[in-house]
Amino acid sequence: MHEVSIIQSLIEQIEGHMEEKGFHKVHRVTLDIGEMSGVVPDALEFAFDVCCQRTRIEGAKLTINYIPVRARCSSCNGEFTVKGSVFACSHCGRSDVEVLSGFELNLKEMEVD
């Protein structure tokens, strides 16, 4: 449900970059969205289509990179993909882990003119 607020904030950010960097057309917007970011990619796409209407970004395509949750174990140093929300190390079972990815909510890049 908060996907709309996130897209509204994205549009403001893009418009800011347009002003700042002096481009007039956005062809594509690429986002990095982590699996644990709490947003639904489909809902973001829907919100993007709706919110971009009658803005300078209207017509831009949205690409979403959905990033899996990866973590590194602080005990054995092994890296693993977190599956089913289980953050324990898949190698040694310890739960003291450092999360490496999966919480992203980023504007990665834009294709512009």
Residue 88 DSSP class: S
Please give the backbone phi and psi of residue 53, each rounded to the nearest 5 degrees, phi first. Answer: -55, 135
Interaction of residue 109 with other proteins, rule CB under 8 A: yes
Interaction of residue 87 with other proteins, rule CB under 8 A: yes
The answer to whether residues 105 and 66 touch, using CB atoms and an 8 Å cutoff, is no
Interaction of residue 100 with other proteins, rule CB under 8 A: no
Q: Which stretch binds other proteins (CB under 8 A): 16-24, 51-59, 60-68, 73-81?
A: 16-24
The helix/strand/coil state of 14 is helix
The sign one gets for the Cα dihedral 105, 106, 107, 108 is negative
- The distance of closest approach from Cβ of residue 50 to other proteins in the complex, given in angstroms and rounded to an integer, is 15
- Contacting residues toward other proteins, per CB under 8 A: 1-2, 5-6, 9-10, 12-13, 17, 21, 23, 25, 27, 31, 36-39, 84-88, 95-96, 103, 105-113
